[in-house]
Structure 1
């Protein structure tokens, strides 16, 4: 069957969009410029580890191919900066940033001398930062805004306007005309009624959701004072806003609205945008919660014009009341276990900061935000600013993305980007099933009179040596099995699967380790490693000389668990290096298989693997 010309064109366009903007290795000079882009924008983990995320943390959110590097801007902007071939595009974006800051100074600073001083200071910084055209506009804006905030000591320049917008939005939702319109049913809707109660409930939910969606995308209602109140007819007309884009049907299917049998309850990461809008968003979020969903609302860390930030939750009465009994997550580096416990709590609405004071930048977000992004079922992004970061880029993400925004022409625009098909995701339910399956094997072995041994050893703690670590463990465990009768030995390296990070492994194994089914917990010694290499007929490579379980971050954490388990099950034996020696390793690098102290050993993540 012949392929239609437009189909071929679409395929070519998709293939072109998937091509990298720049592939390192073309020339030393161009590679240096590529690296300089990340360094100058404070996006390079190895020069700004306190600010920028590691590649592993970024992969919680963004799917990247081997040796591919994510950049948090549109492909067009990145291409213009890297290839230095579209100065007009860069300068236009720079100038927009400058004009916003200068307008802020003009608006808020009354003293003429102070105003002139601030304008000159900002322009000097602007000229310095934009001279080479390597700076991302959003990073430029962050730096110029920080100068303004530091010099004026104004905590939030738009606090009053944000509060007014929130008050207007609340008044709209509380208006009797809105309530009447929201509950209005036309006669045509009753002509062909659904046949089952499930269908009735689902269709009602679809109508209510769409009405709230239209309401949340009418910024003209709260950005300025209106001369009079809206009538019921005005609201009904508002509810008939057209909805454009490819995301309407996928979003409704995801939520289960308009279908006979709604799917399971969902966990949604909601990226809040503007003040005023966020109050209506929260009404929509409470509606989603009433249908069994859990919603995590992400705010900005600090002031960014009229964007809603995390401080507004306590500073703004309207927003505080709209949040209700929501739980605010304050820890920017929450671990997986704590995060899972928080997600399992009975609190249906959670709030957290994304860790930045700029438009969405996944390299600079907090660890908690990155982990939350990884754990949810989908991400809903609000507004056009965040849309550019998610949709005007060739990158795909680890979650389905829905972007909802007012298109400026009276319609609600919903775009959908599916997660990358090669993303491997282990939910905590998946990990619990795996852990419980291992526990079942342990119980079956004990029922046969076998001794259950858990063997803890180095797997990922030597960067780039996972393959060899697994070979060492498997060789030695096989040796133990041949030596000992009626033993069931658990070799963790046999259960490692691609896509699992250190968080996943520790979460799964802690379930197994605290089951009370372990008779002997053996920690790897250097003699074990020597024996394994002797059996393999190989000399010990230098990176393995002198190593034992005390070198492993995972084993260090597991020793603490073993001591705790032994308190509850005194008959369990602990064999291996002395407990007091487990002091060198404290914490994994985020998403890494080795300790954060070893991050600089393997800066590219491609340390040579022994065959």
Structure 2
């Protein structure tokens, strides 16, 4: 086999530099079933992934630690990699032996999983957690199980809640610090108390003896030992994010790791909400050992009580508009991350990726999240806090700053930009002009975005020269660096529903042909027959246009007929170009 180039970290891996490396990377993506083009229904696109990871064109993101990727890249079984596979195997064996429906199924699943493990051991391309997910799916489906740990997780939550009513809990959470607090103003004192409470509840949320032991009752020495743990940089980082000098209220995506610990995570969340912050709690979509799932609250009265004031968003592909509305109206929103495995950003849902994108900070609990987010050298789009217990049971607190290249476009900025456009529209109408909004292809043809902008701008200039008393809105003239497809669609919907549009024109085949004529060019084959119906963004806008026309019947809609649009599904997440057409004969029957 050809020698592969040396790779120092995952963040340095790019396609197109070495043919043998490209072949290995493609095989790696296929073996781990994380290639979007092969399985687009379950794997995130590059655009969706960029909501969470700052990656360039042609750059690989591997959902594992740098250490794991380096071991897999050796294309041979190292002792450390074999140890990881065997640890995965032991966890699965425990499930097979203790939760199989009968002896026949147990032997069948065990034999099948042995074949899969043997193949991987001979040719180690699979990330151990992906191997585990594959075998776990086999075990659950063959035994028709949804969650074999449901009772265990209910027990963990019950024990954790019961401990909150014991003298040991009161001593832990209420004891005064040994050092005297000093402050210059009352706001500083309030923050000192919040910081102390946050640290103690974070500590409790990782102290697994509380829920793994029945009637847990720590003595004074154990309590003192936990209270005296030193967390490097905790005060500095938390104060910079939440302290009294920070006047901004932020949005937080919270990723728990254990049932039981979730009881104390909720106390952390209550503290953050009390300070004025918004929290989105992301649970698992289905069974993954002790991790809490979105559906646990239906079987667990403790969890149902803890989340009684939360608002659930169960839609896996919530639009930006829907998600922001839910977040705006509620201090705590509960979603699923869309997966049943260790955090794998390729397998997270559209809703989760949007929650990440709309947050300012990700708080991730547990060693699994630490490995995926901190021990991966790729830069992420949001600040990340990780808390977990190491092998020595010490609490570890790690902070990773977001990529310096990333600028978050806030909802406030988008709203301000939309309101400014609306003011311009209202002003020209007062002057007696008509407002025309022009919807056109911008990025619907891959690789043709620049050409699409030329086509759009050329045609808008042309109709401006021929139409008097008309204010024409060209979306291409209102783009701002850092805005993606989601941001633009959200902004334009606010403008489009304002009732200030007199004529809504959708790009036609003749418009495009005229643009190329004005540019002195022949229509390229890739543009032949194209119009606004080719764009899923324009398709969404046609839905909006028809809805707006019901409220403002005098608004005209010009261009291809609505029926020609309704063959496309939702526009691609974060894309300027389209999702593919699918056969959905019943979906738009009403039109």
Is the TM value for this pair above 0.5? yes
Shift of 1:398: 0.9
Question: Could you say which residue in structure 2 is the equivalent of 1:217?
Answer: 206
Question: Could you say which residue in structure 2 is the equivalent of 1:369?
Answer: 352
Q: Of residues 550, 555, 580 in structure 1, which corresponds to 2:538?
A: 555
Secondary structure in 1 matching 2:505: strand
C-alpha distance after superposition, 1:134-180 (max 9, x if no partner): 11100111122223223333432333332222222112222244235
Instruction: Tell me if 1:597 matches 2:580.
Output: yes
Shift of 1:120: 3.4
Question: Could you say which residue in structure 2 is the equivalent of 1:241?
Answer: 229
C-alpha distance after superposition, 1:28-80 (max 9, x if no partner): 44422210111111101111122211111111111101211211011121122
Q: Of residues 184, 197, 200 in structure 1, which corresponds to 2:189?
A: 200
Q: TM-score, normalised by structure 1?
A: 0.88
When residues 248 and 138 of structure 1 are mapped into structure 2, their CA distance, relative to the original with a 3 A threshold, is: farther
Secondary structure in 1 matching 2:61: coil
Secondary structure in 2 matching 1:344: helix
Question: Could you say which residue in structure 2 is the equivalent of 1:542?
Answer: 525
Comparing 386-395 with 451-460, which one deviates more in the overlay? 451-460
Comparing 103-112 with 492-501, which one deviates more in the overlay? 103-112
Alpha-carbon separation, structure 2, partners of 1:86 and 1:132? 8
Question: Could you say which residue in structure 2 is the equivalent of 1:52?
Answer: 43
Comparing 395-404 with 293-302, which one deviates more in the overlay? 293-302
Equivalences, count: 576
When residues 26 and 549 of structure 1 are mapped into structure 2, their CA distance, relative to the original with a 3 A threshold, is: closer
Q: Of residues 439, 455, 475 in structure 1, which corresponds to 2:438?
A: 455
C-alpha distance after superposition, 1:455-494 (max 9, x if no partner): 1111122222111111111111111222223332111111
8 Å contact from structure 1 (residues 269, 376) kept in 2: yes
Secondary structure in 2 matching 1:225: coil
8 Å contact from structure 1 (residues 553, 588) kept in 2: yes
Instruction: Tell me if 1:328 matches 2:309.
Output: no
When residues 247 and 396 of structure 1 are mapped into structure 2, their CA distance, relative to the original with a 3 A threshold, is: farther
Instruction: Tell me if 1:517 matches 2:500.
Output: yes
Alpha-carbon separation, structure 1, partners of 2:163 and 2:22? 54
Shift of 1:508: 0.6
Question: Could you say which residue in structure 2 is the equivalent of 1:166?
Answer: 157
Alpha-carbon separation, structure 2, partners of 1:596 and 1:574? 24
Shift of 1:431: 1.4
Q: After superposition, where does 1:398-417 map in structure 2 within 5 Å? A: 398-417=381-400
8 Å contact from structure 1 (residues 21, 79) kept in 2: no
8 Å contact from structure 1 (residues 355, 369) kept in 2: yes
Q: After superposition, where does 1:36-51 map in structure 2 within 5 Å? A: 36-51=27-42
8 Å contact from structure 2 (residues 441, 538) kept in 1: yes
C-alpha distance after superposition, 1:109-137 (max 9, x if no partner): 69777655554343233213433111110
When residues 129 and 441 of structure 1 are mapped into structure 2, their CA distance, relative to the original with a 3 A threshold, is: same
Instruction: Tell me if 1:294 matches 2:285.
Output: no
Q: Of residues 444, 448, 471 in structure 2, which corresponds to 1:465?
A: 448
Secondary structure in 2 matching 1:325: coil
8 Å contact from structure 2 (residues 13, 60) kept in 1: no
Comparing 526-535 with 573-582, which one deviates more in the overlay? 573-582
Q: Of residues 372, 392, 404 in structure 1, which corresponds to 2:375?
A: 392
Comparing 404-413 with 110-119, which one deviates more in the overlay? 110-119
8 Å contact from structure 1 (residues 248, 415) kept in 2: no
Comparing 56-65 with 568-577, which one deviates more in the overlay? 568-577
When residues 489 and 93 of structure 1 are mapped into structure 2, their CA distance, relative to the original with a 3 A threshold, is: same
Q: Of residues 238, 260, 268 in structure 1, which corresponds to 2:252?
A: 268
Q: Which runs of 5+ in 1 are unaligned?
A: 1-15, 600-611
Alpha-carbon separation, structure 2, partners of 1:161 and 1:584? 47
8 Å contact from structure 1 (residues 173, 179) kept in 2: yes
Secondary structure in 2 matching 1:269: strand
8 Å contact from structure 2 (residues 540, 571) kept in 1: no
Shift of 1:107: 4.3
CA RMSD, 1 decimal? 2.5
When residues 179 and 35 of structure 1 are mapped into structure 2, their CA distance, relative to the original with a 3 A threshold, is: same
Alpha-carbon separation, structure 1, partners of 2:418 and 2:348? 31
When residues 207 and 37 of structure 1 are mapped into structure 2, their CA distance, relative to the original with a 3 A threshold, is: same
Secondary structure in 1 matching 2:472: strand
Question: Could you say which residue in structure 2 is the equivalent of 1:429?
Answer: 412
Question: Could you say which residue in structure 1 is the equivalent of 2:513?
Answer: 530
Alpha-carbon separation, structure 1, partners of 2:391 and 2:171? 27
Q: Of residues 314, 320, 335 in structure 1, which corresponds to 2:298?
A: 314
Secondary structure in 2 matching 1:146: helix
Question: Could you say which residue in structure 2 is the equivalent of 1:280?
Answer: 264
8 Å contact from structure 2 (residues 532, 560) kept in 1: yes
